[in-house]
Amino acid sequence: MSPGSFDERSSKQSPAHSPPAGETRRAELILTPVPGSVPEARRFVASLDFVRRSDPEKLALLTAEVVTNAILHARTPLKLEAVEVAGRGIRVSVTDGNSNPPVKKDYGPTSPTGRGLHIVEAMADRWGFDRSESGKTVWFELVDSETSG
């Protein structure tokens, strides 16, 4: 897939890794490790019909944080995926080619950097990462506002 393209698939197709239980729809976007990919990632998740029930500002912020971390620390091409999980919400993941695990930094209060994973941890309903032979995937989940009610 070329940078900037995406593919929306049904869960009936077999993805490269195990999907979350209850996956119904999936979309992906291949990004290059440049700062311009961050706003592209935000626009991409905002454009998906199946994320409409999630908090759009929170979704955009968390997507920007995980994409920014991958750009800064992995410096490899990225795959952004958004997955609708029926009855739960949405899972957003970023896969890169660096197998080093994400690390929460504790810089001073005036530092302009080092807060991304703290923000993800505080705002996401769940988050984590999975390693593979070719890199890692950092993901977060947001519960549908309609199901968390």
- So where are the chain's domains? 6-143
pLDDT tens digits for 62-91? 999 999 999 999 999 999 999 988 767 899
| pTM for the model | 0.79
Q: Is 75 left (phi over 0), alpha (psi -120 to 50) or beta?
A: left
Amino acid in position 35: P
CA distance 27 to 84: 9
CA distance 142 to 66: 14
Contact 64, 94 (CB under 8 A): no
Mean pLDDT score of the chain, rounded to an integer?
81
Query: Would you identify the CATH topology of the domain 6-143?
Result: Heat Shock Protein 90 (3.30.565)
Share of the chain above pLDDT 90, in %: 52
- With cut-offs at 50, 70 and 90, classify the pLDDT of residue 146: low
